Amino acid sequence: MTSHLTHSIVSGDRSQPLLELTVDGVLRRAVAAGPDTLALAAPRQGVRLTYAEVDRQVEHLARGLLGAGLRPGDRIGIWAPNCVEWYLTMFAAARAGLVLVNVNPAYRTAELEFALRHVGCRALVYSATLKGSDYVQMLRSLAPEIDTAAPGELACACFPELRLLIQIGGSPTLGTVPFQTVVDDGARRGPGELARISATLDARQPYNIQFTSGTTGLPKGATLTHHNIVNNGFFVAEGLRLTAADRICIPVPMYHCFGMVMGVLGAVTHGAASVYPSDAFDPLAVLQTVESERCTALYGVPTMFIAELGHPRFAEFDLSSLRTGIMAGAPCPIAVMRRVIDEMHMPQVTICYGMTETSPVSFQSDAADPLERRVGTVGRVHPHVEVKIVDAAGEVTPCGTPGELMTRGYSVMQGYWNEPRRTDEAIDAGGWMHTGDIGVIDEHGYCNIVGRVKDMIIRGGENISPREVEEFLYRHPAVLDVAVVGVPDARYGEAVCACIRLREGMVATEDDIREFCNGKIAHYKVPRYVRFVDSFPMTVTGKVQKFLIREQQRNALGLVEESHA
């Protein structure tokens, strides 16, 4: 990269070749290099596995999945929090040639129904419960046929392709198969069929579908290949200078690229250990786990680090084993970064930027970058990735001039599952992914994200489609019209605010609206603020002016934009 750019177009270093490995190939390589090295620790589950032990369990689970009737190319969903079973399913699906479908554990019935139907899941691995949520009952409400189905032979109207339900934990449920039973069955089977399938796998085949909220309509299933995510995980880990001696504390969710790709795959590409402090984020569990497991790296969105630093017992824990980590998902206040470096012993912490559709990382700061660079920018372009900033006419802008950020290279997804039109809208004929983010690249190649073309709400690292929440709220009988916007929030960066026009003669309260949402959409999508209005500001062509609504509500609620520089 030249030291002084004139225009906003950058290309990553290509001196280190891309890996031509499947997700299973990465695991096999790590097993061969360090069979007795710690691969996975889940203290809350009382589990510690070496790479050789992981390999054996993955082999048995993969054989068991084939024995249950799954075939290469079938989609297998996983609807569970961070746990050992998630890790094993991730690699067993890869070994058996299945397509892993990540389902957010916060999803409720409406979202689950859409996700499973949209991609035609043949199997679903799910937790029995999480944080008081009864996953079994949610499944029953959508597919009452479960109670009369033979295990592995579900036939239901709601999910025409779904046959196999595999339950993690909890009491046995009619019509489902316990996770351990699938593993045990696979242990009794011979290696022949799985070995034949493994020999045919190609790194360019689709392996993973991750749902991402668009600005319009329902979530889209970003389809990622082995090649996409193996290389992204590898180069993120390279940026952290990981080795087989590292232990990464991963409190970020596995269903997201942050936990699965940057976390687990990054670790496995370098033979390092993945450590799960708890099933869902708990700041005390993170502090306890970093100390007890002597973790060397810690990942999180800024709100996680803020919660850890602010925990009343923070000073009790020895975090001196830490040296590095990743902060991503939202801008980081400079005061927080200083405390992470000084009080959490993470001098080499880095910032990453990307999106699910790009596997995810396109920019990463370097451990050697000055603090101001690590907070005021998202670093420089990743290896083998091209990025440009363009104006409204599609022309590359001069350095320092904002425009839409576009990216191209190995990391760009295959497309949105079964949605060619939406894929063509996102990826142009030249292979450029339109991110919808407004960026600025300086003369040294550092990028700063200054806004969004798309009307997305980002709450604590979670992307929320206003349109998706609006479509759901329209189901309420009292709602005539609704506009959902993001407003400033000191803890999460943004909060969901729903502005509602009620039907004539109808009455509803803020609590009525929130209660209507609870249990049906993910908790982070439920509006924090519900505002009843008589009208919306409109353009002369009849379009709602959301930027004015945001400004009005920010002022009415007395909210202040956080400064991150």
Q: pLDDT (tens digit, 9 = 90+) per residue, 229-276?
A: 999 999 999 999 999 999 999 999 999 999 999 999 999 999 999 999
The predicted structure's pLDDT at residue 216: 52
Q: Give Cα 138 distance to the centre of its chain.
A: 22
Give, in order, the Cα–Cα distances in Å from 458 to each of 359, 388, 489.
18, 23, 10
The predicted structure's pLDDT at residue 303: 83
Q: How confident is the model at residue 1 (pLDDT cuts 50, 70, 90)?
A: very low
| CA dist., res. 391 & res. 403, Å (int) | 5
Q: Is the pLDDT of residue 121 over 80?
A: yes
35-62 pLDDT, tens digit per residue, is 999 999 999 999 999 999 999 999 999 9
Decide which of 161 and 330 is more confident: 161
The predicted structure's pLDDT at residue 563: 43
User: The pTM is what?
Assistant: 0.87
311-351 pLDDT, tens digit per residue, is 999 999 999 999 999 999 877 777 788 899 999 999 999 99
| CA dist., res. 96 & res. 83, Å (int) | 20
Q: Which residues lie closer than 8 Å to 151 by C-beta, 6 or more apart?
A: 164, 165, 175, 176, 177
Give, in order, the Cα–Cα distances in Å from 273 to each of 12, 36, 181, 347.
28, 11, 26, 20
The number of C-alpha atoms within 13 Å of 114 and in the hemisphere containing its C-beta is 18
Question: Which stretch of 214-223, 277-286, 375-384 has the lowest confidence by average pLDDT?
Answer: 214-223
The predicted structure's pLDDT at residue 217: 64
The predicted structure's pLDDT at residue 382: 98
* Structure tokens belonging to residue 540: 């002369």
357-403 pLDDT, tens digit per residue, is 999 999 999 988 988 888 889 999 999 999 999 998 999 999 999 88
| CA dist., res. 328 & res. 330, Å (int) | 6
Give, in order, the Cα–Cα distances in Å from 222 to each of 118, 214, 225, 359, 434.
12, 11, 10, 9, 14
Q: How confident is the model at residue 564 (pLDDT cuts 50, 70, 90)?
A: very low
Q: Is the pLDDT of residue 540 over 70?
A: no
Give, in order, the Cα–Cα distances in Å from 160 to each of 75, 211, 360.
13, 20, 31
Give, in order, the Cα–Cα distances in Å from 173 to each of 85, 150, 178.
18, 11, 8
The predicted structure's pLDDT at residue 215: 47
Q: What is the mean pLDDT of residues 99-125?
A: 95
Of 103, 105, 98, nearest to 118 (Cα)?
A: 103
Could you give the angle at the alpha carbon of 261 between the alpha carbons of 258 and 263, nearest 5°? 65
Strands 324-328 and 433-441: unpaired
**3 state SS of 348:** strand
**3 state SS of 184:** helix
Q: Is the pLDDT of residue 14 over 60?
A: yes
Contact 165, 139 (CB under 8 A): yes
- Sign of the Cα torsion 541, 543, 544, 548 reads negative
Q: How confident is the model at residue 463 (pLDDT cuts 50, 70, 90)?
A: confident
| CA dist., res. 428 & res. 394, Å (int) | 11
Helix axis angle, 283-293 to 302-309, nearest 10° = 80
* Structure tokens belonging to residue 208: 């993973």
The predicted structure's pLDDT at residue 333: 75
Q: Is the pLDDT of residue 2 over 50?
A: no
| CA dist., res. 258 & res. 241, Å (int) | 17
DSSP 150-170: PTT----SS-TT--EEEEESS
Q: Hey, what domains does the chain have and what are their CATH numbers?
A: 457-556 (3.30.300.30)
Strands 164-168 and 121-127: parallel
Q: What is the mean pLDDT of residues 164-181?
A: 95
Q: What is the mean pLDDT of residues 285-294?
A: 98
Contact 522, 107 (CB under 8 A): yes
| CA dist., res. 290 & res. 389, Å (int) | 39
Give, in order, the Cα–Cα distances in Å from 117 to each of 109, 122, 157, 414.
12, 10, 11, 20
Q: What are phi and psi of 275, to 5 degrees?
A: -125, 120
498-528 pLDDT, tens digit per residue, is 999 998 899 999 999 999 999 999 999 999 9
The predicted structure's pLDDT at residue 383: 98
**Phi-psi region at 40: left, alpha or beta (left = phi > 0; alpha = psi -120 to 50):** beta
The predicted structure's pLDDT at residue 381: 98
